[in-house]
A and B are shown apart, each in its own frame.
Chain A
Amino acid sequence: MTITPVNNQHEISEFVLAVRARLVDLPAEDQLDLTEGLEADLVELVDERGLEALGQADEYARELRLAAGLSAEATGPSPRASAPRWMPFLDSSRDWALGALPGRSADFAEVLRPTWWVFRAWLAVKILAGMSGHEEGVIPDLGGPLFGLVLFVLAAVISIKIGQGQWWPGNRAKTGQRTLLLALNAFAIVMVVPILVMSNQQRIEWVYTESDPSSQLSYNGVPLGNIYPYDAAGNPLIGVQLVDEQGRRLTIDAGSTSPIEGGVEMGLVPWLNGSTELFSVFPLAHRQIDDSGNLTGPIQLPAPPYANVGAVNMEGVTPSLLVTKPVKGN
């Protein structure tokens, strides 16, 4: 049978809280035994018979205690009174929070619980990685291949088992254990934003690095002005496109290099792929820069530093053939 959401959730939560307050002299386990599921029952009761069916919390608690074989009244605050009070407060807070959710959000929150269990495991791994200085990656490697992934899977299993109440602290958690779990969850929630920001910053930095002049092709830290490729026979090549192992074009920064030829400032001229300018095709040509900074005059292909750099070979590898016919431009 399903419970239809009622509008009296606040009154019901108040009633449960009041009943629990009259059981505080009992051990936490007894309190849980007596009141676990009580709210769900009362929701149904009120749904069927109205709010007045709740009656007086005092009388209710008295009847509950007597029927359970306990003393009718609380026997005054026990030495552990402050601890048992905390448990009903936790229960009531949880029930109140779920009850306060509009419409079927409580269902949604229930569905989201496993997601949270996995997410907090990921947060734990990220926090651990951050502490050990290996925070890179969605699943950080933590210094060893697959180590981070294995740790994440392990953390996820533990987190799910805890969430299901199958492992520590279980469904009959003591006050201290439950408080510790609550504190850990709260810490995880607090860390969500810093961890996400940290992960995002790494991504932004990565993107930023791509357009950073310092990432342009350089030799011993000095940006390169041009590249002159040669074939296996040692002859210069024209129009060689370079990409790295991830397919990123190896680019020379046009702005940072202004070669001087005969006292005239020259600017690099990009190759074109359609209308896209490419500074990753070599060698790059030169063109004169006028006083207003515009490229002007004829395109000049600079002479390579060597006419021939000598033939090379590798056993079992057939090198590309030298292209002797120039490719016509557009």
Chain B
Amino acid sequence: MDTTQLLKGVLDLAVLAVVDGDDGYGYDILKRLRARGLHDIGDASVYGTLRRLYAAGALTSYVVPSESGPHRKYYGITAIGRSQLKQQRDDWDHFAATVSGLLAHTSEGIAS
């Protein structure tokens, strides 16, 4: 199954989840997502999502001068972001349970 399409639907939730409680810069957030199993995620997709969440007020951002080279842009979660995270987590749990329940009634699901 092509997980790319699935991923697009939950990217906001995934990004908010890994930023919650621990600010990070773009590449750092990308690595957190990959470390937690989302290996196929695209770099630019994460950066674009960060920008969109920032524009929506779910994330805050600040620039930190680097010890060498160009400056880093960090993102942190806001109150709006936390609220969004909670809402989307509930939605996901509900959705996942619904789909799991649906699949449990298929022949393969009943057999197992």
A residues sitting closer than 8 Å to B (CB atoms) are 1-5, 33-34, 36-45, 59-69, 95, 98-99, 104, 106-107, 110, 171
- Beta-carbon nearest neighbor of A13 in chain B: B70
Interface contact A44-B52, CB-CB below 8 Å: no
Nearest CB of A to B44, in Å: 4
Task: Kindly list chain A residues whose C-beta atoms are within 8 Å of the C-beta of B48.
Answer: 34, 63-69
Task: Kindly list chain B residues whose C-beta atoms are within 8 Å of the C-beta of A4.
Answer: 68
Task: Kindly list chain A residues whose C-beta atoms are within 8 Å of the C-beta of B73.
Answer: 36-37, 40
- Beta-carbon nearest neighbor of A4 in chain B: B68
**Among B44, B68, B70, B73, residue most surrounded by chain A Cβ atoms (within 10 Å):** B70
Task: Kindly list chain A residues whose C-beta atoms are within 8 Å of the C-beta of B72.
Answer: 37, 40-41
Task: Kindly list chain B residues whose C-beta atoms are within 8 Å of the C-beta of A68.
Answer: 47-49, 51-52, 55
- Beta-carbon nearest neighbor of B15 in chain A: A67
Given contacts A37-B71, A60-B44, A64-B48, contact A44 B63 (CB under 8 A): no
19 chain-A/chain-B pairs, Cβ below 8 angstroms: A2-B66, A3-B66, A3-B68, A3-B69, A33-B55, A34-B48, A34-B51, A37-B70, A41-B30, A41-B47, A60-B43, A63-B44, A63-B45, A67-B49, A68-B51, A68-B52, A69-B52, A98-B70, A99-B69
B residues sitting closer than 8 Å to A (CB atoms) are 11, 25-28, 30, 42-49, 51-52, 54-55, 63, 65-74
Given contacts A41-B47, A64-B47, A67-B45, contact A1 B28 (CB under 8 A): yes
Interface contact B51-A5, CB-CB below 8 Å: no
The 9 A-B residue pairs with the shortest CB-CB distance in the complex, in nearest-first order: A67-B48, A37-B73, A63-B44, A68-B48, A41-B27, A64-B44, A39-B70, A67-B45, A41-B26
The one of B25, B42, B45 that contacts A37, using a Cβ cutoff of 8 Å: B25
Main secondary structure of the interface of B (DSSP, over half): helix
Task: Kindly list chain A residues whose C-beta atoms are within 8 Å of the C-beta of B47.
Answer: 34, 38, 41, 64, 67-68
Interface contact B69-A43, CB-CB below 8 Å: yes
Tell me the bound Cα distance from A107 to B70 in angstroms: 10
The one of B11, B30, B69 that contacts A40, using a Cβ cutoff of 8 Å: B69
Known: A64-B47, A68-B48, A98-B69. 15 other contacts (CB 8 A): A3-B69, A37-B74, A40-B71, A41-B43, A41-B47, A42-B27, A43-B70, A45-B43, A59-B44, A60-B43, A68-B49, A95-B70, A99-B70, A107-B68, A171-B63
Interface contact B42-A110, CB-CB below 8 Å: no
- Beta-carbon nearest neighbor of A67 in chain B: B48
Nearest CB of A to B75, in Å: 9
- Beta-carbon nearest neighbor of A37 in chain B: B73
Task: Kindly list chain A residues whose C-beta atoms are within 8 Å of the C-beta of B65.
Answer: 110
Task: Kindly list chain A residues whose C-beta atoms are within 8 Å of the C-beta of B11.
Answer: 67
Tell me the bound Cα distance from A65 to B55 in angstroms: 13
Task: Kindly list chain B residues whose C-beta atoms are within 8 Å of the C-beta of A65.
Answer: 48
Interface contact A41-B25, CB-CB below 8 Å: yes
The one of A45, A69, A110 that contacts B27, using a Cβ cutoff of 8 Å: A45
Task: Kindly list chain A residues whose C-beta atoms are within 8 Å of the C-beta of B30.
Answer: 41
Nearest CB of A to B56, in Å: 9
Task: Kindly list chain A residues whose C-beta atoms are within 8 Å of the C-beta of B46.
Answer: 67
